[in-house]
């Protein structure tokens, strides 16, 4: 299957307040962001023409920028409005949205205080991250070589481009070995997350999930915690040791891309797709198709 490159497509991208033809949305090779990772972004899904949890994503984009000393020139309401306009301009019914903010090319060096802050929003039709069969039978995870860093060494509460370098490397290595993804530990050796999704363990009818103190507290993660508690399922947020996987009856991932996806393998551990995971898949899929609850 030939790939359709993302710089050569039809459609429109909102950039710095203007709706541009897709191919005209460009940045210079000497942009600060390309050399020094001064870039933050978001990812959100569109269901039935509506962006799920839009305002929460816009708020997080601005908060991530603040952590990287990137003051976005737009407020939450403006980003929400631009996102809706971009979805409408491209006629997206079910798809993906990528808002991104970065430092431009006014300065070249570690310091970038005088660089202009650019903001762009793109959206496109995007199928589920994992196949329907994978969501039914579960996916396979390898152990990642790299670990999530100590918050004293990086702005780990941000959704920053630089923090994804080890995710790309880990996912490449896992896929080369025939796995779907990789599970990362944190700097202390506790279970953290997959390369782009949070993780939940089902143990004796309760859901256990790592405390997000050095990685993102995902918006889908928080949504699933709410769905589980609404059903009376106890959710325990704590530090989880890798050896505790032996006690888990089931495991699943959550994320904008992954949505809710069961796991059948993590390294040497094997799991069945269980009742908690199946219920969360069903509840999440139902929630995202409820228009009245899309913007929350």
Annotated catalytic sites, by residue? 159
The span from the CA of 263 to the CA of 278, in Å, is: 11
Within 10 angstroms of residue 229's Cβ, the number of other Cβ atoms is: 12
Fill in the DSSP letter of residue 186: B
CB 71 within 8 A of CB 103: no
- Cα torsion angle, 251, 254, 258, 260, sign: positive
> Cα torsion at 185, 183, 253, 87 (round to 10°)?
100
Q: Cβ(277)–Cβ(250) under 8 Å?
A: yes
Residue 183 burial (CB < 10 Å; 0-12/13-18/19+)?
Answer: buried
Q: How far is Cα 274 from Cα 201, in angstroms, rounded to an integer?
A: 10
Using only C-alpha atoms, the chain has a radius of gyration, in whole angstroms, of 19
The DSSP bridge pattern shows strands 95-103 and 44-47 to be antiparallel
How long a stretch of residues is the chain? 296
In terms of Cβ atoms closer than 10 Å to its own Cβ (0-12, 13-18, 19+), residue 129 is buried
Cα 51 to chain center, whole Å?
Answer: 14
């Amino acid at each position: 299957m030939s790939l359709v490159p993302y710089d050569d497509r039809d459609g429109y991208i909102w950039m710095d307040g203007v709706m541009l033809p897709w191919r005209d949305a460009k940045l210079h090779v000497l942009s600060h962001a390309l050399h020094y990772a001064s870039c933050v972004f978001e990812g959100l899904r569109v269901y039935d023409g509506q962006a799920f949890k839009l305002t929460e994503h816009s708020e997080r984009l601005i908060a991530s920028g603040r952590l990287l000393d990137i003051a976005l020139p737009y407020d939450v309401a403006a980003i929400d409005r631009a996102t809706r306009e971009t979805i409408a301009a491209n006629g997206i019914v079910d798809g993906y949205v990528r808002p991104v903010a970065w430092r431009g090319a006014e300065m070249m060096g570690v310091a970038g205080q005088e660089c202009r802050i650019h903001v762009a929003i793109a959206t496109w039709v995007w199928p589920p991250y994992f196949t329907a069969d994978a969501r039914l039978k579960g996916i396979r995870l390898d152990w990642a070589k790299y670990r999530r860093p100590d918050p004293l060494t990086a702005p780990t509460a941000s959704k920053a481009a630089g923090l994804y370098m080890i995710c790309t490397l880990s996912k490449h290595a896992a896929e080369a070995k025939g796995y779907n993804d990789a599970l990362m530990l944190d700097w202390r050796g506790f279970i953290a997350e997959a390369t782009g999704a949070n993780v939940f363990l089902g143990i004796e009818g309760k859901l256990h999930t790592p405390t997000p103190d050095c990685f993102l507290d995902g918006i889908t993660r928080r949504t699933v915690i709410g769905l589980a508690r609404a059903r009376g399922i106890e959710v325990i947020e704590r530090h989880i040791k890798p050896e505790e996987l032996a006690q888990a009856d089931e495991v699943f991932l959550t994320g904008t891309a992954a949505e809710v996806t069961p796991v059948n393998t993590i390294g040497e551990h094997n799991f069945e797709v269980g009742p908690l995971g199946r219920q969360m898949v069903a509840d999440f899929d139902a929630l995202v198709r409820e228009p009245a609850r899309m913007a929350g």
